[in-house]
Structure 1
Amino acid sequence: MNLLSLTLLITAALSYTALSAPITTNTANRFDIELSGPSPPTDHVGAMSRLASKTSDATVCLDAVCKGNSHNYLFADIYVGGSTTPSKVILDTGSSDTWVTGSTCRNSVEDTKKGGCEPNEMGSVVTTPGKFNATGQTGSTKYGNKGDRGVEYSIYKTSVKFGTAEVTNFPIGVVTNSFGGVKIRGILGMAFNSLSKIEKALGGENANFLDALQVSKFGIYISPQDETKGQVNFGYFNDKKYGAPGEELQWFPVVPTDDKGYGYWLIDSSQMIISTIDYTGTERYLSYTLESAPLQGRTLLDSGTPSMIFTQNVADTINEWYNSKYNATSNFNFIPCSDGYPLTMSLKVPGTKKPVSYRIPYSSLAAKLDSGKCYSLIKGGAEQYGMSTFGSPFHQAAYIAHDKEAKKIGFIPLNPKLMPTKSFWSF
């Protein structure tokens, strides 16, 4: 999940009775999930997808979260506890826990008036006795640098159906309260186990959904022309369908998150070249080698982040290429809404000679406000967190293959036939 706005806190209750491991049924361990966008009003999208109650450009937006266009996270439907009503959750490669909205979800009085969660609302989960086994553990997930938004949940074991696959006796968080305007339906984490707070609360018991599915490999495709559409392939890679003809997956070894081992999908991107044609028609190039030295070249691949996060100096430089105008009140860099040139990321695996270029469509870098103005999704702040982040815009430039067991991640440029056709400036 977005490193600029997310902190996690899990608190364990005193008592817990261990139950058996999750059981996988109804799957050949190879299946596809179609992705979609939120469907208001039943699917409230709040503090994690750039929606907010204020829409004026002059309004200070909480953590740069504003009511914007259809740019959002990667949503998919899961069915929890035998429910026939799906919970539309965010597929998040930047976290490792699964939680969904519970039937007793409440926001503050102010948020409820604006359409917050209500008991038994479409998409909420009802904890039916016999289908939800309480573990005695509780937890909370907080958002924002101040921790003033988030959800609180109880940890249950239940069934989760996902496409053609179903796991039973799987530990999830069922939200009992939300605060500060967080209204999403849930998160399905797809990172490594060491990030799991639920797993720690259960005394080390595996709470990783990929492991429960008995799947190590998965690949993500997001349409570069419509970010609400895409597909996730589980148990195999579909790079031949979505990748550029003649290209192969460029494999990067996953870098350990810390001395405790693997957590995030991290790569060494220190030999990256960033380029585009700026608004004056001038070719621009930037080497990230020196800039990323304090970060040890570390870059996080995170489907739960809607932006590209670099060092502040690099972010400022790229935004200048796109003729940005900074607004201190909103903390936005405003840029033209359309027809800019793609941002090209040339990546080279350390120790190899051949770089591969990935072109992020300009439309994936500009988020539109209700006023019609657009702000840049190129952000600074990597120094603060010790890593850069390739968020959802990069997912519209490459098919991304993940292999949890082999601890590697691969990219292949998308087929040019899938890309937007416009690549010029117009005013």
Structure 2
Amino acid sequence: KRDGGIVRANIEDEQVFYAANITISGAEYSVLLDTGSSDLWVYGSTNPYCSAFSTSVPRSQATIDCQSYGVFDTETQQWSTDDQLFLIQYGDLTYAIGYYGTSVVSFGNATLDGFTFAVANTSNSSVPVFGIGFEGNEASTSSFMKGYGGPFQYQNYPSALKQAGLIETTLYSMWMNSETAEGVTLFGGIDHSRYSGDLATIPLLNYYKSQGVAQPITFDVSLNNLSLSDGETDVSVLSDSQSCLLDSGTSFTYLPQSAVSNIADALGATYYSSIGYYVMNCPTSSSGVNFTFSFDSIDIQIPLEEFLVAVDSSNQNCAIVTSGSSRCILGDTFLRSVYVVYDLDGLQVQMAPVNLDNSDDDVEIIGSAGPT
């Protein structure tokens, strides 16, 4: 195993998000590792939604145990800021407001001096977020910023690693062991022991092209078909190809409503408005039913059980944790079964089924020319 040109960081599966531990100005923080956004932010010491020091919101809303994730005190910790506004809102309508600044940030075996991140003085998000997407998708690039000094880009974590010479290309690979709830993110490298078969290269789609964006700034790929199979019968549930976001910051999977309805019909599930999901009988043993996600150059098979969550203590009834949405998102229920290489410089991803059997690393440093 070679360490030069590689930044290796362990991650943990907390069931509803991938957790990463980082250090800022000597203090540790637990954050959600998010391929769907691009900014790092942590709780500030005046966030009213923190249960420990709520002042300006009703106690019923101040429910976040901020201290368990870490709270940044701008008065006592190393921090430099020019009071540049930070504002982000996520797809679930949670938000964070504060200021950008710089400090010393460590993640895995890398330390960056003068790294830009945000301290959120107000946030109702249940966990702080470490976005590792494209610079072009940073909150600072929003048109909203026109009233606050103008939109701008800065070097976020993947770009800063390359600028510092710690990796040769802006690329990282990620895998999660669903059995041990432990995984790894490799910046600048690929671990060939962690996938089965060959990596398939899939070009990214420019989701925001209609808004004048010149090139992809999100990890959107074309999902050409989605089917259910029990080994004898295949049922296609997707009527048209979809631009789908590979998003480690989203717990479940979101598909067009017609696809969700087709899945429910094929599985004999019933919709329960009280929980917002279709519910079916939990399999008493392996169902033998698989989803097949078909992309341009690879089919990924994932057992139905990866998309089921018991909704009662007796494990009799299971929710199919796939919701209807106009935005197709392949979240952690999909990503747990896949080894993904996120190639920001190459505007592509590579994908293969994850391999949980091999314990010997086979790490390749990816040079400036990108993966072959």
- TM (norm. structure 1) is 0.70
Name the Cα RMSD after superposition.
2.7
Residue in structure 1 matched with residue 45 of structure 2 by the alignment: 103
Aligned identity (percent) is 19
AA aligned to 2:339 is Y
Q: Distance in 1 between the 2:186 and 2:62 partners?
A: 39
Q: Tell me if structure 2 keeps the 8 A contact 1:106–1:177.
A: yes
User: 219, 228, 236: which is aligned to 1:265?
Assistant: 219
| Secondary structure at 1:237 match in 2 | strand
> For 1:130 and 1:301, how far apart are their aligned partners in 2?
35
Map 1:398-413; keep pairs closer than 5 Å. 398-413=338-353
Residue 361 (structure 1) aligns with: 303
**Aligned twin of 1:254:** 204
In 2, Cα distance between the equivalents of 1:126 and 1:29? 33
Which residue in 2 is equivalent to 1:197? 139
The two structures have a TM-score, normalised by structure 2, of 0.79
CA offsets per residue over residues 172-218 of structure 1, 9 Å max, x none? Answer: 11121234xx321x111122122111356575242421101114121
**Counterpart residue number, 1:218:** 172
CA distance 1:129–1:28, change in 2 (3 Å): farther
In structure 2, how many angstroms separate the alpha carbons of the residues matched to 1:267 and 1:113?
38
Partner of 2:366: none
- Please, which of 5, 22, 28 is the counterpart of residue 78 of structure 1? 22
**Counterparts in 2 of 1:199-348, with a 5 A limit?**
203-214=151-162, 215=167, 216-226=170-180, 228-238=181-191, 240-244=192-196, 247-259=197-209, 260=213, 261-270=215-224, 272-277=225-230, 283-286=233-236, 288=238, 290-292=239-241, 297-338=242-283, 339-348=286-295
Deviation, 1:413, is: 1.5
Residue of structure 2 in register with 1:5 after alignment: none
The DSSP-based 3-state class of the residue aligned with 2:189 is coil
CA distance in 1, matches of 2:257, 2:61: 37
Q: Does 1:183 align with 2:126?
A: yes
Aligned partners of 2:260 and 2:323 also within 8 Å: yes
Task: Give me the whole-angstrom Cα distance separating, in 2, the residues matched to 1:314 and 1:112.
Answer: 35
Task: Report SS of the residue matched to 2:152.
Answer: coil
Residue 405 of structure 1: how far off its partner (Å): 0.5
Q: Kindly indicate whether the alpha-carbon contact (under 8 Å) linking 2:34 and 2:131 is maintained by their aligned counterparts in 1.
A: yes
Is the 8 Å Cα contact of residues 177 and 356 (structure 2) preserved in structure 1?
no
Q: CA deviation at 1:165?
A: 0.5
**What SS does the aligned partner of 1:219 have?**
strand
> 1:110-138 CA distances to partner (integer Å, 9 max, x unpaired)?
34775x346x6662122255721112122
Shift of the alpha carbon at 1:401? 0.9
Q: Secondary structure at the match of 1:393?
A: helix
Q: Residues of 2 paired with 1:250 and 1:256: CA distance?
A: 19
Aligned residues: 329
1:337, distance to aligned residue in structure 2 (A): 3.6
Q: Which moved more, 1:92-101 or 1:337-346?
A: 337-346
Counterpart position of 2:324: 380
Uncovered stretches (5+) of structure 2, i.e. residues with no partner: 50-56, 359-372
Cα pair distance change 1:122/1:250, threshold 3 Å: closer
Distance 1:404 1:142, change over 3 A: closer
| Per-residue Cα deviation, 1:78-129 (whole angstroms, up to 9, x for no partner) | 111232xx21111111111111112222214334775x346x6662122255
Letter of the structure 2 residue corresponding to residue 32 of structure 1: R
User: Does 2:6 align with 1:30?
Assistant: yes
